Amino acid sequence: MLTKVVKFGGSSLADAKHFKQVADIIHADPARRYVVPSAPGKRSKDDTKVTDMLYRCYEMIRNHESADIIDAYYDNIRERYNGIIRELGLDFDISGELDYVKNAMTHASGRDYAASRGEYLNSLVLAKYLGFSFIDAENVIFFRENGTFDEERTNAVLAEELKKHEYAVIPGFYGSMPNGTIKTFSRGGSDITGSIVARAANADLYENWTDVSGFLMADPRIVDNPPPIETITYRELRELSYMGATVLHDEAIFPVRYANIPINIRNTNAPEDAGTMIVSKATGYDARRIITGVAGKKGFSVIHIEKDMMNAEVGFGRRVLDVLEDHDISFEHLPSGIDTMSIVVSTQELEGRRERIINAINRQVRADHVEIMDGLSLVAVVGRGMVKARGTAARVFNAVSAAGINIRMIDQGSSELNIILGVDEDSYEPALRAIFNEFVK
Ligand code: ASP
């Protein structure tokens, strides 16, 4: 029998109506054996996610706010779960669990413990509703002493545990430390849990159910009706999500990539949509389009360094990068000329230490001129089709220049999978639109 691991995001489990949709999806395919839920998310734009309520509650306890105020706030969390149970007509009393969590939070169980209970409680309800086993993530997902995820130990223990259950619910987002305390992944981390479970189950597919029908080719706030991406490789996805196209947690692809399991992004509210398939190697690409997607970000600066005969000076680049390393700054791109070197970094990283960095670079390499220029945005054009199609770069540059936009920087990744352009921030949206229209319309 096929095995699918299905992860449902918070918006897919925000209320009883969504629980029903989720159950329909799961029951529609017996291969959907292992379910990884998030905590209940927002029911409307102004609503608060349960995870955020738990963080807030934890802060209130730490700030020694009065017991009445904390109780009243915690009642809202209780009601999120009780409301779902009531509306589903489930014969399940979760009040003992809710009391226990509240008590543990009051007795210094830590911030991660508090946050993780959103997934824990939701999984209890969902397991009950589906009639599946419940496997607590704290017993099967492990972190090392230094806080990093322990993939070997997790995979061994989790794989054994899954074999004992034909159908099970495993809460997302958290695991345990060697001393037994609870630790969470970063925000949105249930995506990672889903991927870990898929690997341990040796699944045929990891379905990640959310509230959009996959990745779109571009940001719909900037271009009109961008089509969804049908198939994308892990590497293309890394490039696009690094540039802000976020549907899936950045780290979620590693466990499944390791095991060569495809991820299918699906929409709980439109289960008939095929969504986006994320695969290790795509057999082809859409020849009509060549590019897979275009994304970008604002908020970059360029550290521009000039020195005559720079190219003949062995170790120049290393000495400049040493300065960045000393300041714990990571750089994005490093386009260089014969006597110039530009380092693109996020403007935020320079905050409060511009002078120090300029002086340190001057000291290290005795440059003729060092200057920081702000207001750069980056646009990434990504596509496996670009490797084969000649003239793609020319089309990108022509489209941008025809829109009257000055290109301040060009960088082509060594894999030929992407072309990155640097343009002024106020040209960001027009540049993105120009490229999209060139390839998609
Ligand atoms: N509930 C957690 C969060 O809001 C984790 C997740 O949803 O993936 O970040």
How confident is the model over 375-384, as pLDDT tens digits? 999 999 999 8
C-alpha span between 177 and 193 (Å, rounded): 15
Q: 3-state class of 241 per DSSP? A: helix
Size (the chain), residues: 441
**Residue 337: band (very low, low, confident or very high) from pLDDT cuts 50, 70, 90:** confident
Q: Specify whether the backbone of 11 is left (phi greater than 0), alpha (psi in -120 to 50) or beta.
A: alpha
**Average pLDDT of the residues in 258-282:** 93
Tens of pLDDT, residue by residue over 59-105, are 999 999 999 999 999 999 999 999 999 999 999 999 999 999 999 99
pTM, whole model, 2 decimals?
Answer: 0.86
> Above 80 in pLDDT, residue 361?
yes
**Residue 387: band (very low, low, confident or very high) from pLDDT cuts 50, 70, 90:** confident
CA of 119 to the centre of ligand 1 (A): 8
Question: What is the model's pLDDT at position 324?
Answer: 94
| Ligand 1 atom nearest 193 alpha carbon | 8
> Above 90 in pLDDT, residue 223?
yes
Q: Could you tell me if the CB of 123 is within 6 A of ligand 1?
A: no
Q: Do domains 4-279 and 293-439 have the same CATH topology?
A: no
The helix/strand count (H/E) of the chain reads as 14, 15
Q: What is the CATH number of domain 293-439?
A: 3.30.2130.10
Question: What is the model's pLDDT at position 413?
Answer: 76
Question: What is the model's pLDDT at position 416?
Answer: 76
Matching residue, tokens 């009883």: 16
* Mutation pick for ligand 1 pocket among 77, 119, 197, 211 (CB with most ligand atoms within 8 Å): 119
**At the topology level of CATH, where does 4-279 sit?**
Carbamate kinase (3.40.1160)
| Ligand 1 atom nearest 38 alpha carbon | 7
Considering the chain, what percentage of its residues have pLDDT values greater than 90?
Answer: 82
More confident residue, 280 or 427: 427
**Average pLDDT of the residues in 248-266:** 91
> Above 90 in pLDDT, residue 360?
yes
Q: How far is CA 311 from the centre of its chain?
A: 39
Question: What is the model's pLDDT at position 119?
Answer: 98
C-alpha span between 255 and 387 (Å, rounded): 27
3 state SS for 171-194: CCCEEECCCCCEEECCCCCHHHHH
CA of 131 to the centre of ligand 1 (A): 24
Residue ranges per structural domain of the chain:
4-279, 293-439
Question: What is the model's pLDDT at position 157?
Answer: 98
| Ligand 1 atom nearest 249 alpha carbon | 8
C-alpha span between 211 and 10 (Å, rounded): 9
Q: Could you tell me if the CB of 187 is within 6 A of ligand 1?
A: yes
Question: What is the model's pLDDT at position 69?
Answer: 95
Nearest in space to 135 (alpha carbons), one of 143, 147, 144, 126 = 126
Q: Could you tell me if the CB of 173 is within 6 A of ligand 1?
A: yes
Q: Could you tell me if the CB of 10 is within 6 A of ligand 1?
A: yes
| Ligand 1 atom nearest 119 alpha carbon | 1
From atom 5 of ligand 1, which residue's Cα is the shortest distance away? 188
Nearest in space to 4 (alpha carbons), one of 256, 327, 350 = 256
